[in-house]
């Protein structure tokens, strides 16, 4: 990991700084993975912290002292359902999708991730899979899975569904190894084949991975998913095999390798999130707002030019930026100076001096990101990720925008805080991204 990044310990719920000597060389994918983990780390650690004075954040510089006010009545914007979900975790199940070739997206905790049910093996068994547009490897835990030796080497949690020859008669292990390192965890195992059914579409003998070794970031009993499906492009894959959507298109089961996302917000209570393969779901977005964007990333991420950033209509003075759009990242990560510029326009925003920010939980600040000439406004409830003190929802909240070095000096990593506010679709044939305002 690079200097200034953090790792998150899910057991102690603490964020740990990572020093330069930990890793001097990284690929672009490693950097993104590290920053993704750091984003969730900062948010979860702050949200779970106790013992602070009510109404106080971590301290630090007040970024928005001269900006206009938030909610006049001082009422909390963050919902109690979000607060409780942040504390208790767990999945909120999605409604069955109406559109063809679609899977419902269950909501993890307070919108920290999105999980779909995928069927694997013979007899068919359901697995809960995290859907991640920011990586390209598909894996589930292996039978006999263990945690890292450095974390005790114990068996993976029994509540996770695993895969192997004992559970599936069509399972075939190639013996070829793979390993994926994420920012706050890792998995390793072998490349296998087995029958996969995705949104009713069958991929016989599909090639993917089973993880024999998982860090506790994946193996622990409080982790809601059994595996992860990367839906970026194959160039990012450590397994170097086609992604499921690529395989669906090659098999002629969908016309084009398109993946489309509608991410649901827990506080809305609609539970209508879905991922659609091969097309866009026209019922989910306003057709006249659809913009088509060139993918400017050559490594396999989905990245577009970011035209502008505004707060309550006032420009943050940022231009020439790009943004990786990543459903597997909870927050928005921006270069430090950019994050500071945005928070300078939010009343009462404070820096914690470590890349994180707090915002009054009563704010009504309207942050918008512009792509393709269209401004997409972020609901203030999404900017307020979690209260610093869960017992005080009128105090300070963790900001959904944090500072982090992604890659280039003008590169952003844009996760679910934004993506809940837009319909998001990617097309591997055209190498294009589409965004639209939600219906």
End-to-end CA distance of the chain, in Å?
40
**Cα–Cα nearest to 366, from 312, 414, 417, 316:** 312
C-alpha R_g of the chain: 21
Q: How far apart are CA 365 and CA 378, in angstroms?
A: 9
Residues pairing with 285 in the sheet = 438
Q: Are strands 321-325 and 411-414 parallel, antiparallel or unpaired?
A: parallel
Q: How far apart are CA 137 and CA 118, in angstroms?
A: 15
Q: Are strands 125-132 and 227-230 parallel, antiparallel or unpaired?
A: parallel
* H or E stretch covering 309: strand 308-311
Q: What are phi and psi of 234, to 5 degrees?
A: -60, -25
Question: What does the DSSP assignment read for 355-369?
Answer: S-EEEETT----EEE
- The SS3 of residue 262 is strand
Residues pairing with 118 in the sheet = 127
Active site residues: 132, 326
**Cα–Cα nearest to 426, from 175, 249, 208:** 249
Burial level of 375, CB count in 10 A (0-12/13-18/19+)?
A: middle
């Amino acid at each position: 990991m690079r200097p200034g990044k953090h790792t998150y310990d899910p057991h102690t719920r603490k964020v740990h700084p990572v020093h330069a000597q930990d890793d001097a060389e990284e690929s672009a994918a490693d950097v993104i993975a590290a920053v993704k983990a750091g984003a969730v780390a900062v948010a979860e650690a702050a949200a779970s912290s106790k013992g602070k004075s009510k109404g106080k954040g971590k301290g630090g510089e007040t970024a928005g002292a001269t900006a206009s006010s938030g909610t006049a009545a001082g009422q909390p914007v963050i919902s109690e359902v979000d607060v409780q979900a942040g504390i208790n975790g767990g999945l909120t199940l999605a409604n069955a999708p109406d559109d063809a070739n679609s899977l419902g997206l269950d909501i993890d905790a307070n919108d920290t991730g999105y999980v779909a049910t995928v069927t694997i093996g013979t007899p068919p068994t359901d697995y809960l899979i995290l859907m991640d547009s920011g990586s390209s490897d598909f894996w589930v835990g292996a039978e006999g899975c263990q945690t890292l030796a450095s974390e005790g080497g114990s068996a993976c949690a029994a509540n996770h569904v695993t895969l192997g020859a004992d559970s599936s008669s069509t399972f075939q292990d190639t013996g070829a190894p793979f390993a994926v390192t994420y920012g706050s965890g890792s998995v390793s195992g072998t490349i296998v084949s087995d029958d996969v059914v995705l949104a009713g579409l069958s991929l016989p003998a599909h090639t993917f991975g089973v993880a024999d070794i998982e860090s506790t970031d994946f193996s622990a009993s409080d982790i809601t998913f059994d595996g992860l499906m990367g839906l970026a492009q194959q160039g990012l894959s450590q397994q170097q095999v086609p992604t499921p959507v690529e395989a669906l298109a090659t098999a002629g089961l969908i016309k084009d390798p398109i993946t489309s996302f509608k991410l649901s917000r827990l506080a809305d209570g609609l539970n209508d999130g879905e991922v659609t393969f091969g097309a866009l779901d026209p019922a989910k977005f306003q057709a006249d707002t659809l913009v088509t964007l060139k993918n400017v990333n050559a490594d396999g991420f989905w990245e577009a030019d970011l035209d502008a950033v505004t707060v309550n209509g006032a420009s943050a003075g940022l231009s020439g930026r790009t943004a990786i759009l990543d459903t597997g990242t909870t927050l928005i990560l921006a270069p430090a100076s950019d994050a500071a510029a945005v928070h300078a326009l939010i009343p009462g925003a404070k820096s914690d001096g470590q890349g994180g920010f707090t915002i009054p939980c009563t704010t009504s600040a309207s942050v918008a990101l512009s792509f393709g000439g269209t401004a997409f406004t972020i609901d203030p409830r999404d900017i307020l990720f979690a209260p610093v003190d869960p017992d005080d929802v009128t105090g300070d909240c963790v900001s959904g925008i944090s500072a982090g070095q992604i890659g280039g000096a003008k590169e952003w990593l844009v996760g679910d805080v934004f993506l809940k506010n837009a319909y998001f679709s990617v097309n591997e044939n055209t190498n294009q991204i589409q965004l639209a305002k939600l219906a």
